[in-house]
């Protein structure tokens, strides 16, 4: 929900961006406009990757909860119960992955993010 709204707002900004007039600013710097568009694309990519990771990691927990609600009154063997509990623990663990992996996915996806992290570690 929130990620999709952010993407929509970025696209609106791209369409509504005011380009400085050559008479007031001298010359329009095409590189700065390309840099802004590049950063917008990187942000959209980061958002889509974060949303995808979240959906992939949280969906199994939703599916196992649905399965448990449907089969809660069925008679189950000890082995089946143990298998379900193990799968539930695994799915619960996977539900925490999106909150831990965001930094690494951003590091892989965004060149700007990589450069900023490098500058932080090198104290520039």
- Residue 54 to residue 71: CA distance in whole angstroms: 26
Neighbours of 115 (CB within 10 A): 11
- Residue 32 to residue 19: CA distance in whole angstroms: 11
Q: Which two tokens stand for residue 104?
A: 């690494």
Does this model's pTM top 0.75? My answer is: no
Decide: 50 and 102 in contact? Cβ < 8 Å: yes
Q: Where are the domains of the chain?
A: 2-121
Average pLDDT over residues 90-106: 93
Phi-psi region of 123 (alpha: psi -120 to 50; beta: other; left: phi over 0): left
Digit-coded pLDDT (tens) for 21-73? 555 555 556 666 676 777 888 888 899 999 999 999 999 999 999 999 999 99
């Amino acid at each position: 929900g929130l990620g999709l709204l952010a993407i929509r707002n970025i696209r609106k900004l791209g369409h509504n961006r005011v380009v400085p007039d050559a008479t007031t600013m001298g010359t329009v710097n095409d590189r700065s406009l390309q840099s802004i568009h590049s950063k917008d694309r990187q942000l959209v990519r980061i958002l889509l990757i974060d949303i995808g990771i979240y959906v992939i990691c949280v969906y199994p927990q939703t599916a196992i909860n649905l399965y448990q609600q449907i089969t809660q009154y069925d008679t189950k063997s000890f082995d089946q119960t143990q298998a379900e509990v193990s799968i539930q623990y695994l799915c619960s663990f996977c539900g925490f992955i999106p909150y831990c992996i965001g930094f690494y996915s951003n590091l892989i996806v965004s060149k700007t993010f990589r450069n900023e992290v490098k500058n932080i570690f090198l104290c520039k």
